[in-house]
Structure 1
């Protein structure tokens, strides 16, 4: 199963009131395992960068000035995600922003199935913090490089969190990395338990059973037992 872990960075929190997407990061998974294939782009938002937003992701208007517009990358982005299931932390936020960008271009909204990892985390750990940093701490995932939010880095971390939320690594993956558990025990002698030998049980029908069977057969028209 192909899934895309996705994250965005924006100029603010209101997609319908002028805030824009400034970064998209995607990580491809097959059967919940990262393939190494990813999509990443910065975007020129065609507007200023509020100080509070820049404090979150560190992307300034000057840095983004020469980056492509969303219109220039929309095709590549949609080709990468295709119709795969999207895995997003607080999905309504990112989907709302991406759909607003697509609407500005007269393009249809995303119709991909979506998994919201915030909802999964809150269901599994009621009352506990469900931020990406909190989940990384819970699952001992190294997020020491996350001094600022970044769409690609956050997608990579979320891919690891998602694996843990879905039940963690499969036991066979652990066994496969342990030679002591997977190496054939060629030098181990076979152990055979001593068992008492019992005589064969008789299966011949009694005279009463034979008579009952013959009476039963006589009542059947063209009985197979009478053939030949």
Structure 2
């Protein structure tokens, strides 16, 4: 098995994410994804709407920026490019050129992706993992899956997608752990300002403590 530079394969697929020791958000009874930004008519995407779009199954690894990789995962869902071509492009004015996409989760987390990265053929709006519906720990009801980018782009509990014609404000730009804007795993784009090989040892030391905190907040461990 060949992994991206600086990554280590682990057993299983641990819960990582924001809020760490807090439980993941409750799944709404009728979940929707709000779509807005540069579209001429904002709209709401229901689970029924998603079911009408073509589905695919994708076998792909998940790479955390901290340095671990969960391998051989089987995701199912809607290709983001299919959703974009069928539901978003018809609502764009001829003069509008989308450059960035902001993904937001029910936990308040946001990730920003360039449109060319979001439209890669292996990017999904996923609702199933290894043959089962997503659990709360792994992003239920739906999540973004972008295997060629580090996990921090793969927003869980997806509830809103906004399309932009220029780079949106980035609240983490002054953070000491400022995430890379592209986050491509094979380029080891972990940090915005520092080379991947420089921050790699620091991030590796964080795996254990963060995994322990995340496990404390796992909904599966509290139900």
TM range (shorter): under 0.3
Report which of the two structures shows the higher radius of gyration computed on alpha carbons. 1
Instruction: Give the structure, 1 or 2, with the largest relative contact order (CA under 8 Å, sep 6 or more).
Output: 2
- Relative to the length of structure 1, the TM-score reads 0.24
- Relative to the length of structure 2, the TM-score reads 0.24
